[in-house]
C-alpha cells in the first residue's frame, strides 16, 4: 500500500444536532477548510433533509449518515443521496445492506473480535470508537493482526493535538464531533476549528515518516 499524503487522510465532519436550515452554510465553510466527507447523525433534527441538501449541493464530496442502527435507515440514507453509512457498533446486517447498495460502510469497533466480524461482513473500513478510551497504542496492536489495506478511523475525543500520535499508529483518517461542530457553535467558530484541524493534520503528516 502506497504511503498516504496529507490529502489522502480522510477527515470526517460529524454534524450531530445540525439543523437543515443551517446545514449548507456549515457545509460550505467545512468544504473551504478542506473537509470532503460529512456525516449527519440520525439523532439530529430531520437528518434526511440535511443529507439531501448536502448531497444535492456538490458532486465532489461524500455525504452520509451516522449513528445508523437499522437496515431501513440505510435505504433512507441512499434515497436522500447519501453514500456513506457510519455506525457506533458492528452490525453485520447493516454492513451488508450498505454494501449491497454500493455504499461505504464504516461500522464502530473496539476489539479485534468486532473488527474481524465487520471484515467478515464485507467492509474494509472500520471506526475505532470511542477512540479516546483506547488510545493510539490500541490501534497499533490492532493493526498488527488486521489484513493489509484495512482502514481504521479513530472517532471520539480526537482533537488537533491527538492527530500526530494516531497517524503514527496507522490511522487512515479521523472523525471529529464536538471538537469541530456543535449546534451552538457559530459559523465563524466552526470555520476556525475546521482550519485548525486541517492544519494540524498537515503539520503532523509532514513529521510522520
> Nine-digit cell at 204?
503532523
Measured torsion, CA atoms of residues 61, 67, 73, 74, in degrees rounded to the nearest 10 = 50
What's the distance, CA 208 to chain centroid?
21
So what's the pLDDT on residue 9?
86
21 catalytic residue (yes or no) = no
As a whole number, the mean pLDDT across the chain is: 95
Do residues 151 and 192 make contact, with C-beta atoms less than 8 angstroms apart? no
Active-site choice (72, 114, 127, 196) = 127
Residues 52-110: tens digit of each pLDDT = 999 999 999 999 999 999 999 999 999 999 999 999 999 999 999 999 999 999 999 99
For residues 160-171, average pLDDT: 96
List 39, 114, 179, 196, catalytic entry: 39
pLDDT at 209: 64
The reported pLDDT for the residue numbered 7 is 52
On whether the pTM is more than 0.85, the answer is yes
Q: What are phi and psi of 135, to 5 degrees?
A: 85, 165
- H or E stretch including 115? helix 112-120
Catalytic, 72? Answer no
Share of the chain above pLDDT 70, in %: 96
The model's pLDDT over 6-28, given as tens digits with 9 standing for 90+, comes to 457 899 999 999 999 999 999 99
Amino acid at each position: 500500500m502506497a504511503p498516504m499524503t496529507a490529502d489522502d487522510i480522510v477527515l470526517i465532519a460529524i454534524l450531530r444536532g445540525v439543523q437543515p436550515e443551517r446545514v449548507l452554510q456549515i457545509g460550505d465553510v467545512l468544504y473551504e477548510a478542506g473537509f470532503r466527507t460529512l456525516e449527519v447523525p440520525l439523532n439530529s433534527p430531520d437528518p434526511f433533509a440535511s443529507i439531501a441538501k448536502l448531497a444535492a449541493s456538490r458532486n465532489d464530496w461524500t455525504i452520509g449518515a451516522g449513528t445508523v442502527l437499522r437496515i431501513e435507515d440505510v435505504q433512507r440514507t441512499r434515497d436522500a443521496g447519501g453514500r456513506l453509512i457510519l455506525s457506533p457498533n458492528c452490525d453485520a446486517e447493516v454492513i451488508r445492506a450498505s454494501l449491497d447498495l454500493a455504499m461505504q460502510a464504516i461500522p464502530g469497533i473496539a476489539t479485534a473480535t468486532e473488527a474481524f466480524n465487520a471484515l467478515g461482513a464485507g467492509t474494509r473500513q472500520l471506526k475505532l470508537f470511542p477512540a479516546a478510551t483506547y488510545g493510539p497504542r490500541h490501534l497499533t496492536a490492532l493493526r498488527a493482526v488486521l489484513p493489509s489495506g484495512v482502514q481504521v478511523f479513530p472517532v471520539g475525543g480526537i482533537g488537533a493535538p491527538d492527530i500526530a500520535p494516531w497517524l503514527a499508529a496507522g490511522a487512515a483518517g479521523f472523525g471529529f464531533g464536538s471538537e469541530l461542530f456543535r449546534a451552538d457553535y457559530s459559523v465563524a467558530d466552526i470555520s476556525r476549528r475546521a482550519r485548525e484541524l486541517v492544519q494540524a493534520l498537515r503539520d503532523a503528516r509532514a513529521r510522520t515518516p
